[in-house]
Amino acid sequence: MARLVIGTNKTSNVAALVKEAGKYSIQRTVDQNGVLKSTSQVMDFTGVTDLDDYVFECAYEHNSLVTGHVDMSSLQGITGKAAATQTFRGSGITSIDLSSVTEIGIESCYEMCCECENLTSCNISSLVEVGDYGACDMFDGCENLEIDVDLSSLTTVDKYGCQYMFAHSGITSIDLSGLTSIADSSLNGMVMNCPNLTSVTFSSNITSLPERCLWKFAYNCPSLTSLDLSHIVHADGGYGLSELASGDTSLTTLDLGSLETATGANSMNGLCTGCTSLTTVDLGSLQTAGSLNAAFKNCTSLTSLSLPSFASTQNIRYCLASLCEGCTSLATVDLSGLTEISSANYAFQYAFRGCSSLTSFTFDALETISSSTGALVNMFENCTSLTSLSFPALVTPGAYNYYTDMLKGVTGCTVHFPSNLESTMGNWTTVNNKFSGTNCEVLFDLPATA
């Protein structure tokens, strides 16, 4: 069936737009560029299957007279550039039917229904493909849109396509189970600041995340208790998982159990910062990361962290700084696979500062610390229960200033090094001042490593 397309030439001086074959006669005012302007009467879209470039750009923006239901159910696509950009933004519409739309083009629905505070219902369940910026901010700020969002048919999202699409809205769940292709920043902040969101279903087809793809995806969602991203293997784009679920959340579990690499700059910065209910996180397969800076900072219910496959740091400053700072319930940490800290200044600065339940820590396999100024600076500051710290595999300890204030605020801790390192480290000022600890002791009593 041929498509009936509503359109206008943006460069012409069109004075009105009339649907073909006399199916409607609603007259519309336009500006000098032919862009449709505000009216209090919403068009009849019966039989219309697509919209041309710019045709409804800002048409009813902030028009409080536009209320009630908008029936766009005949549309199979909205593919014209900026065709519905800000069309109903801030208007009084209460519901919109987009149930047959399968494709949204470049910038086509940018902020289409943004800030529609009376909007309580929408149907966009047939959507398959979104172009660059296509649905960006589409329903951002729709506080009363308390619906379960079915996007299970959606397979492809281009750059910024669904960025902030439902941010600051009232949605209760979202289904993204059909995704097969996502681009840079495609889902950035898509459901951030959604106070009623309780469930996210993510696609098992997505195993690799591009740059900024899930940056702040579920930031500040206080009703979300779990997030399953167990099929993701690589998150190597910059900011790929940065601040994923940080802020005011009720998240108790996060499954990233298949994640092996996250090498991009700031790839996991602030991953769950401030998730005070988080008790369990699975990162058991993670081998290397560009940055886990403050990933679990102030997660006060987190009792254990297991990173047994994490082998070395990247050449990125502060890559694990403040990793678990302020995690007052943290009692066990497994970094048993870590063999090298290199070319990463301040790699573990403040990593466990204020972890008052941590009683012991062992760098089981750590052999080399090199070219990393301040690598362990303030690492265990104010770990008030820490009594034992061991480096049983250490061969190359680096320089004295790698350990500055490592035990600041700690009382009665014994630090154990291999016996062969006494000749190298014994006269270091940081060793002599017990890494700034109080009544602490440094012993070279472990079996020699070289």
Q: Is the dihedral of CA 46, 50, 51, 52 positive or negative?
A: negative
The residue whose two tokens read 């779990």 is 226
401 located within any domain: no
Structural contact between residues 446 and 417, judged by C-beta atoms closer than 8 angstroms:
yes
Dihedral pair phi/psi, residue 398, rounded to 5°: 80, -140
The angle subtended at Cα 116 by Cα 113 and Cα 121, nearest 5°, is 80
For the chain, percent of residues with pLDDT exceeding 70: 90
**Residue 69 reports pLDDT greater than 80:** yes
* Adjacency order of strands within the sheet including 67-71: 67-71, 92-97, 121-123
Dihedral pair phi/psi, residue 22, rounded to 5°: 70, 20
276 located within any domain: no
Rounded CA gap, 334 and 184, in Å?
32
Structural contact between residues 380 and 361, judged by C-beta atoms closer than 8 angstroms:
yes
Query: What is the Cα 55 distance to its own chain's centre?
Result: 34
Beta-carbon contacts of 259 under 8 Å, excluding residues fewer than 6 positions away, are 229, 232, 233, 234, 235, 283, 285, 286
81 located within any domain: yes
pLDDT, tens digit, for every residue of 235-259? 998 999 999 999 988 999 999 999 9
Least confident of 112-116, 170-174, 344-348, 420-424: 344-348
102 located within any domain: yes
299 located within any domain: no
Rounded CA gap, 235 and 238, in Å?
8
> Total domain count for the chain?
1
Domain that holds residue 125: 1-206
**Residue 213 reports pLDDT greater than 50:** yes
382 located within any domain: no
pLDDT, tens digit, for every residue of 157-179? 999 999 999 999 999 999 999 99
438 located within any domain: no
pLDDT, tens digit, for every residue of 5-51? 444 433 322 223 333 332 222 344 444 544 334 444 556 677 788 88
**Residue 314 reports pLDDT greater than 90:** no
11 located within any domain: yes
